[in-house]
Structure 1
Amino acid sequence: MTDFNTLGLPADMVSRLAMAGLTAPTPIQERAIPAALQGRDVLGLAQTGTGKTVAFGVPLMMALAAAKGAPAPRTPRGLILAPTRELAKQIATALEPLRMGRKLSVVLVVGGASVNAQAGRLARGADLVVATPGRLIDLTDRKDVNLSQVTQLVLDEADQMLDLGFIHALRRIASVLPAERRTMLFSATMPKAMEALAASFLRDPLRIEVTPPGRTVDRIVQSVHFVTKDEKTDRLIALLDGHRNERAIVFGRTKHGSEKLARTLEAKGFAVVSIHGNKSQGQRDRAITAFREGQVRVLVATDVAARGIDIPDVKHVYNYDLPNVPEIYVHRIGRTARAGADGAAIAFCTPDEMGELRDIQKVTGLSIPVGHGQPWDRHDQPRKAQGRGVPAKPTRRPRRRRPQRGAKAA
């Protein structure tokens, strides 16, 4: 069996990995680490939870440790970009055990926290910056960070950065980075826009694909419940009531809707917190900590939590609203069945979400078992709506066109 000793790593790094409980590399680590150590750019296609942080973290930290002298103020040598604050913070925490040699300085640069405090930490010098694109642009515009000396660049969950609208920020960041650098880009999917982004950042990369796009974890028991919009909340409450002592994440589509749902669940006696884009970084950190430590059992979240939350004992994931992008479904349900555990993923589908459900099943290659109700049929949706007291839209007869004056009859 392959172990980290066979990848050409120094004994110090192997020891640090062992202290972190890592003795055998995952497939993405086994292929990416040697390539990066040889100085090659890497394009990795892998789902969350496959060990990507170590795959890029090991060669990154080794390169930074080998650099001579301390970094200049505001001028990092390494940069990691992540789509969300939660993922950026998780990366920074995961890299802590991998610091070799002198104490490498890592600065977290994310929104929702004091920009002045982050600028102050950068002014003292940073070997590595872990950032979300928006906040990094803010600091660049303020001249609080200089990216001209970055020799090690990582883009993690790059497809989600595109989904969140960071393409222009990424292009701006790319324009101020030095051409001579090693770049590692990791993505769960490879749409055309992602291919264009990869081409602009990478040079002759080694492409590594360890998990087919859209593949879901085999240990997750999936089901779909066909409900009306009015039935959603009551069914969620009934299902949550059956496992009040187990952790569950409930995914909503909007910030307002998620906050409203969390208040409803709290009124029903559930220990619940919510995270979404309207929450400050401190509020989001406290919510994740309370959920991780078991002070609350239900986390209601938008897709800021679809990636970057690694809590091993989440037993249930609810798709209260189906995502518009089918790949996000895979990331959402990947919050359960982690670290070898089992888990359940329950999706709610209203009549107007049948398109999203079909797209999800097409991408995953699965026919999700029905847990409740029957699939909605597009032809009988108006009749169902009318039965709930909502009048069906009347069918308009086509208007007969009058022949123009002087025109001959056909």
Structure 2
Amino acid sequence: MESFCSCFAYPIRAHSCSFVVQIPILILMKRLRRILFPLFFSLLLSFVLLEAGLALLCKTGRLKISKPSYSLNNVFSRYWADLNPDFGVWHEPYSTYKHISPCFNLTYRANSYGARDRERQPAANGKPRVLVLGDSFMEGYGIAGSDRLSDRLEKLTGIEHLNFGTSGAFGPTQYLQLYKSLASRFEHNAILIALLPDNDFLDDDYEYGLKTHQGRLRPYYIGESPNYELTKTPARNPNTPARYLENLLRQFTYAGNLVKYLKSLRRHREAGTRENYAGYFDYTPAQWDRLKYVLEQFRAAAPDKKIVVLTIPCDTDILCVEKTGEPPLPRQLNELCRSLNMTYLDLLPPIRSAPNGWPACYLACDRHWSAYGNEIAAGALYNYSAKSLF
């Protein structure tokens, strides 16, 4: 059977017409290949050069971002995840995470109840024990577990120090909720609360959190002092393809880590955090009232326990002290802790006067304490409160 092809003025067979129509398509595909292949290789070369440049900047210390771990386990790891309905971020039991930066290469491990610590039993068997609460400084971000403040104090005193610190924008309200829901299950006679003014006031600020911690499961005290109400922001679904792709890029490329770093900077700027923010100086009256309330709730939750409150300085705090003089926070905390029958120790003076210089107390590629910084802090705490706490 014959049909009329619009391409010609005379009838031809149908398959002949389709062959003629395919000719422009083949030509188009060849042209696309000529365009797309060079474009693809140009993009690939640009990406390789970008990765090489970022790697060089990290190696020379000019760019302080995490390095790719090249670990598939990290892509799916829930070592730091919003897991706990009471206090948010925690470590999945027995989870691991390989953490690589220009100045450290570590693998973190969680125990059966999610702490980065050796296995502990709920019963103290009549022996004194200390619970250590705090954020990434207490967890030991960027250092071996044996170099941490808690481990050093355990070695100095012979008394167990159970470490419940965690990274992940963890603030005082979360310390309190963690103590109530998890840490208090372990028999203890003392509590060590490590405050980091550099971000603890901000971590507990609900309005700030709405801008910088969107999609995070976090508890907040909202309202006016002393009539606060506890509220929680819901967590986004962590199991979406987009989240796994983001994790994959971070674990296998420098560019993925750079994007994360730039996003963090943008969020903090949008939240109005000033450059060179110094938590020892820059907290607001409302933020102070909230911290005061949290410490009062600690005393109410542990009426018969010895409680030591520490403040940890960051580089911006020390630089601000050297420029403007003594900060107001230590005086306020000292007065508050006295009224609550707590012991207060400000670690800014011993860190600032460290024999090797205060910069040696911090990691070369990060603002967290180095092993030396933990050593100075442990010595200061042991010398100051050995009799009252231990």
- Using the size of structure 1 for normalisation, the TM-score is 0.23
Q: Give 1 or 2: higher helix fraction.
A: 2
- Using the size of structure 2 for normalisation, the TM-score is 0.23
Structure of greater Rg: 2
